[in-house]
A and B are shown apart, each in its own frame.
Chain A
Amino acid sequence: MSSPDFVIKNALWRGEAHDLCVADGKVLELRPASGEGYGDAPVVDASGLVLLPALIDVHTHLREPGFEWKEDIATGLSAAAHGGFGSVMCMANTDPVNDNAAVTERMLDRAREAFPGGGPRLFPVGALSVGLAGHELAPMGELAAAGCRAVSNDGMPVANSELFRHAVEYAADFGLTVIDHCEDPHMALGVGVNEGAISSRLGLKGQPTVAESLQVARDVLLAEYLGLPIHIAHVSCRESVELIARAKERGVRVTAETCPHYLLLTEDAVEGYDTAAKVNPPLRTMDHVQVMREALRTGVIDMLATDHAPHAAHEKEVPFTQAPNGISGLDTALCVTMGLVDEGVLSLDDLVRAWATAPAKAFGLPVCAFAPGDPADFTLYDPSASWVVSPQTMHSKGRNTPLLGRTMPGRTAFLYVNGKRVV
């Protein structure tokens, strides 16, 4: 073995203490901790810390350009880094919309400026249609060349199936995957609450699960017909899971994500018209939560994503129907899902797959599997450093989370990207 630049000693990898040797920004070797020295290489004592690949979030809203009061690329990436994320894919619903190379390049410049020494990797998601208007295809070749890895009309679902079909076809020519926010826009005119007992009692127009699954059905049929991949964003309900499972059994090239809040929270969180829990798709009932957990565990749902949607406090401090949708998720995502590992709902391997290997595979992103030569993108998670979610402990500008006041079971202690320490 050539000499490492530095060594992470005694980190817990699959429950056993390991030493990780890093050189030139890459993994040199991961081996069981032996107690022996590594010459003059600096050593980081990671005793008691859990070693994970740096997480990949394929669905984040960083709000810049245009909505910097909610979040900007610097604060968003800072929240990502402190949340354990080494790579972030940011959505196109900015102002101006990321439907041309100039916006993509500006985003990438801002990421470099925010972390001059190297920080979390940013992979912008281009708009699927010009201005997200759903009428004309965006210039996907230009977007791919500028650095986009996927296209999406997230936030503005494409009801026009013919346009969506062409988007999937055209995107494939440039190696771009289409990410779809599955929602029938007419049926989903609700206000961020599940259609059910609570919407009925609170007098709110709810959003039925079928508003989501109707579009999921369309997408799996299209992906099958075209033989091209489609990635389904933020799946929240049983009907969608069943459609995806059956499609996968037939070999359809469909991948899907869900978010930590759909694994943790139910529609009960909107009781009292709590706008912090207003999210799209809405939080569902416990039976859906159980299905989402199982679907993630079995791989029907391939990956996790935060759908980090930061908003300023004054934007959420309005009557429920008026409040914007969205939960700020980067700060808490890893902790929430580690909590599910602690409860035995997920295994650590499930978590590694969902937050790193599956998203990397779906979108062609760098990932650390701790094999020699892999990028040294890793997180050291301290399971003993519990913390309380509060405006003071979050790094995102958006403190809009129904988890405020909750104790998280641990915290990111270190994040390395390309062998450089970010946190």
Chain B
Amino acid sequence: MHWPYKDLLDVDVLSVEDAQRIFETADSFMEVNTRSVKKVPTLKGKSVVLFFAEASTRTKTSFDMAAKRLSADSFSLAKSSSSLTKGESLKDTGLTLQAMNPDAIVIRDSRSGAARFLAERLDCAVVNAGDGWHAHPTQALLDAYTLRKVWDGRFEGRTLLILGDITHSRVARSNVHLLTKLGVRVRLCGPRTLLPPRLDTWPVEVFHDLDEAVRGVDAVMCLRLQLERQQDGLLPDLREYSRTFGLGRRHLELMNPGARIMHPGPVNRGMEVSSELADMPESLILDQVTSGVAVRMAVLFLLITRKDQGGERVQS
């Protein structure tokens, strides 16, 4: 069955079956990534543009590696070296890139909705690698994929806490969508200044006390605290934040046995999570990175081969 979507902009349109299909496709690519020759000819002759208008280490490298391991040609374009710095609009930059006939454009942009904006105007596949505070679908997919492995594929009945700066987190938004859809009970915890309005419309439980929030959870996903939030007047100081909302050893005793620690990175060690917890065996932080390559291989594979599989053709 062909993949039904032209783009991957958020996880909200994905059904549980769609997510499972991505996971199963990623399973086969995980195996490829353990071989001595980590490359398959699956996307030979295809091209992927990595258009990162915002700084990124792991996501960009992960997509680049995913494309290359599938034998696609990948091209990187940073905002600083693009005509955006000359005042070109995102629409015109996108149309210019499309005129070179790539098969997919992976975009990261600091403006919420930027990926959707581009996808509505381009015929090639657009993958959202993070847009403002809105969505980071491949991060949510790789997080769920990582949990699927440690939870033996069973999401139902599990409880996960997302901790920290929820307001400004595209990772949180996408994870809430996907994990609740898969059956996980999701909790959010952070100071009120870092929680978005109208959380009563989200399918989550909200806590402001970390000790209460971690009680009985199966995993905690710590979010990176952007240090400038203190200057924004959202926090008094970082020391107080780490003492009040930083995850430490004492919290382990409140969680369910075998509870896991996650973080989308980059980690401010000692701030969101203690160094000890970040490095302990229960930490999935590096597993998330490993899963990321396979999941992104799956996403690129499904989107780019969509037409070849006889899916609905997009007029070009």
Q: Do A and B come from one complex?
A: yes
Contact of B201 among A201, A203, A204 (CB under 8 A): A201
* Binary flags per residue of B99-126, CB closer than 8 Å to A gives 1, else 0: 0000000000101111011000000000
Which residues of chain A come closer than 8 Å to B111, judged between CB atoms?
A: 319-322
Q: Does B134 contact A (CB under 8 A)?
A: yes
Q: Which residue of A lies closest to B168 (CB)?
A: A203
Q: How far is the CA of A319 from the CA of B116 in the complex (A)?
A: 9
Task: Indicate whether B185 reaches chain A with its CB closer than 8 angstroms.
Answer: no
Total inter-chain residue pairs, C-beta < 8 Å: 64
A203 & B90 in contact (Cβ 8 Å cutoff) = no
Decide if B132 is an interface residue (CB 8 Å cutoff): yes
Cross-interface CB contact of A202 among B113, B117, B202, cutoff 8 Å:
B113
| CA of A199 to CA of B112, assembled, Å | 10
Considering only residues 147-203 of chain A, those with a C-beta below 8 Å from chain B are 195-197, 199-203
CB of A13 within 8 A of chain B? no
Q: Among residues 108 to 152 in chain B, which have CB atoms less than 8 Å away from a CB atom of chain A?
A: 109, 111-114, 116-117, 131-135
CB atoms of B170 and A203 under 8 A apart:
yes
A318 contacts B by Cβ under 8 Å: yes
A273 at the interface (CB under 8 A from B): yes
A200 touches B112 (CB 8 A): no
Shortest Cβ distance from B101 into chain A, in angstroms?
23
Contact in complex: A314, B89 (CB < 8 Å):
yes
Contacts of B117 on A, CB cut-off 8 Å?
273, 318-320
Q: Apart from A196-B198, A319-B112, A320-B117, list 20 A-B contacts with CB within 8 A.
A: A197-B197, A200-B196, A201-B201, A202-B113, A203-B131, A203-B133, A203-B135, A203-B170, A204-B112, A204-B134, A273-B113, A273-B117, A314-B89, A318-B90, A319-B111, A319-B117, A320-B113, A321-B113, A321-B132, A322-B111
Question: Measuring CB to CB, which residues of chain B are less than 8 angstroms from any residue of chain A?
Answer: 89-91, 109, 111-114, 116-117, 131-135, 170, 173, 196-199, 201-202
A residues near B (Cβ < 8 Å) are 195-197, 199-206, 208, 272-273, 314, 317-322
**Selected A-B contacts with CB under 8 Å, 29 pairs:** A195-B197, A196-B197, A196-B198, A197-B197, A197-B198, A199-B196, A199-B197, A200-B199, A200-B201, A200-B202, A201-B201, A201-B202, A203-B112, A203-B131, A203-B132, A204-B112, A204-B132, A204-B134, A208-B197, A272-B116, A273-B112, A273-B116, A314-B89, A317-B89, A318-B91, A319-B90, A319-B109, A319-B112, A321-B113
